[in-house]
Structure 1
Amino acid sequence: MERADGARVAALDSTLPREPDIPAWAPLLYQLQLLDFREKPEPLSLAIPDRIRIGNQKRERGNFYFQREEYSMAAQAYCMALDMLTTRTYESQSCAAEEEEEEVNDYRVKCLNNLAAAQLKLGQFDEALHTSRDVLFLDPQNVKALFRKGKLLSDRGEYEEAMETLKKALKLEPSTKAIHAELSKLVKRQAGENETQSWQAKPAQMFGENIAPFLTPPPKKKPFGISWKFLLGALVVALGSLVTSVVLTARN
């Protein structure tokens, strides 16, 4: 290739791969320039389809964080999605159509279920129970929410409500092994509690209201510290000493 000044330069073939000129361990410094920004849209000012589109984008971002085990970021993304997925409108706007409202509620159920899963990973058990109840308010037959609610209630010791919830989940999905396992665990917990309550009921019947000293079983009496073998040996030694003393006295 020839430049305007007549000098010749070699033309590079763009199809050839470029040799790496930056080492893999070299630190890189990027300089960014903000060109434009947009204010966060107010959900109530958007049309329902736009809310669904933006809400799903945020939900998918939460799924991305969840797969990376960044559960706190996932929970934040799900909450932002739920803020967007609403059918409430300004008074000047018309109410949402029934079909649109059902679609929004379906996406809200998905977000709430994902949020409950993230809360469980974060150890936020009370929040996860509250979120599962929100799911069941929108979809009373949601098996995932029923299972989470039943398991959390069982862990809290609320066995009666947990049993009803898990039975409902089992009726909807009889072949799910996780529900069977949780019901089995709950039955064992109930049996253990009933045994404890039946043991504590006897003192209450015998001693009336003043049963505080009798609620705990008395400590077991420890066996005597000296064994019978030791006592027998000591007795034999004592008798031997006595016989020896008698014999010596008789000889003298």
Structure 2
Amino acid sequence: MASCAEPSEPTVPPPSCVPPLEDFKILDGVEDAEVRDFLLATNSYDLAIKAITSSAKLDMTFEEEEQLLQLKTKCLNDLAASQLKLDHYRTALRSCSLVLEHQPNNIKALFRKVLTQQGEYSKAMPILSAALNLEPSNKMILVQLSKLVKKHTAQRSTENALYQKMLGNPSRLPAKCTSKSSWSIPWKWLFWETAVDLGDMALSVVISARN
């Protein structure tokens, strides 16, 4: 059965050189997010990330470095979630990108990166496709795919209407104006080529999800 929620992350104990999570106020941040105080939650995660970064040492073992990285990644993911709630899409994109630099297959970061691409459907589709390849049955991702396809279709319809309005109705033009001008052909081909490319991209994502 398809999962309705984002995949859970394993609990990672902090290395010996890192203070307890309570000192970073991560727990307070989560609680603040639940009561819609996402701004305070964001500040808490920022403090946590700075504390984790400052805790790094040159003589750390490989295991300690990995634990520190996973702890920082979790904070960045939670930070991105709070930033999205505040509609801070640029900072959320940066947080997701930092996660993906170390963990390219992090589902949460991929999914939230899609949410940062407001109106940029051509950019969102490949990211969503990568997430679907990792978890094809994730219902949350499939729902987002459906929304993207609908929004993309609506955007194409609006652009098509504006395009037709810009050029006017050729059947109503005088005879001397019915011939195609030198500038209308490139614009027409450019518009439809872009529309077809984006449509093919959406279809490929759907096929990927079904497979």
TM category, shorter: 0.5 to 0.7
How far, CA to CA, are the matches of 2:102 and 2:19 in structure 1? 17
State the Cα distance separating 1:194 from its structure 2 match.
Answer: 3.6
Query: Aligned residue pairs: how many?
Result: 159
Alpha carbons of structure 1 residues 123 and 57: separation in structure 2 relative to 1, 3 Å = same
AA partner of residue 81 (structure 1): A
**Residues 22-42 of structure 1, C-alpha deviations (whole Å, 9 max, x = no match):** xxxxxxxxxxxxxxxxxxxxx
In structure 2, what is the equivalent of residue 214 of structure 1? none
Q: 2:136 aligns with which of 150, 169, 174?
A: 174
- Structure number with higher helix proportion: 2
Alpha carbons of structure 1 residues 143 and 56: separation in structure 2 relative to 1, 3 Å = farther
How large is the RMSD of aligned CA atoms in angstroms? 3.0
How far, CA to CA, are the matches of 1:181 and 1:112 in structure 2? 24
In structure 2, what is the equivalent of residue 60 of structure 1? 27
AA partner of residue 138 (structure 2): T
Q: Secondary structure in 1 aligned to 2:20? A: helix
How far, CA to CA, are the matches of 1:83 and 1:123 in structure 2? 22
1:206 aligns with 2:194: no
- Structure with the bigger RCO (C-alpha within 8 Å, sep 6+) is 2
Matches within 5 A, 1:121-136: 121-136=85-100
Alpha carbons of structure 1 residues 145 and 203: separation in structure 2 relative to 1, 3 Å = same
In structure 1, what is the equivalent of residue 149 of structure 2? 187
State the Cα distance separating 1:146 from its structure 2 match.
Answer: 0.7
Q: 2:40 aligns with which of 70, 73, 77?
A: 73
Matches within 5 A, 1:77-156: 77-86=44-53, 94-153=58-117, 155=118
Structure index of larger Rg: 1
Q: Secondary structure in 2 aligned to 1:207? A: coil
**Residues 193-237 of structure 1, C-alpha deviations (whole Å, 9 max, x = no match):** 3445556289499334499xxxxxxxxxxxxxxxxxxxxxxxxxx
How far, CA to CA, are the matches of 1:185 and 1:69 in structure 2? 24
How far, CA to CA, are the matches of 1:108 and 1:168 in structure 2? 23
**Structure-1-length-normalised TM-score:** 0.54
In structure 2, what is the equivalent of residue 160 of structure 1? 122
Alpha carbons of structure 1 residues 208 and 105: separation in structure 2 relative to 1, 3 Å = same
Alpha carbons of structure 1 residues 62 and 185: separation in structure 2 relative to 1, 3 Å = same
AA partner of residue 101 (structure 2): F
How far, CA to CA, are the matches of 1:61 and 1:193 in structure 2? 40
> 1:74, 1:118 within 8 Å by CA — same for their partners in 2?
yes
> 2:24, 2:51 within 8 Å by CA — same for their partners in 1?
no
**% identical equivalent positions:** 35
State the Cα distance separating 1:88 from its structure 2 match.
Answer: 7.3
AA partner of residue 150 (structure 1): V
> 1:55, 1:82 within 8 Å by CA — same for their partners in 2?
no
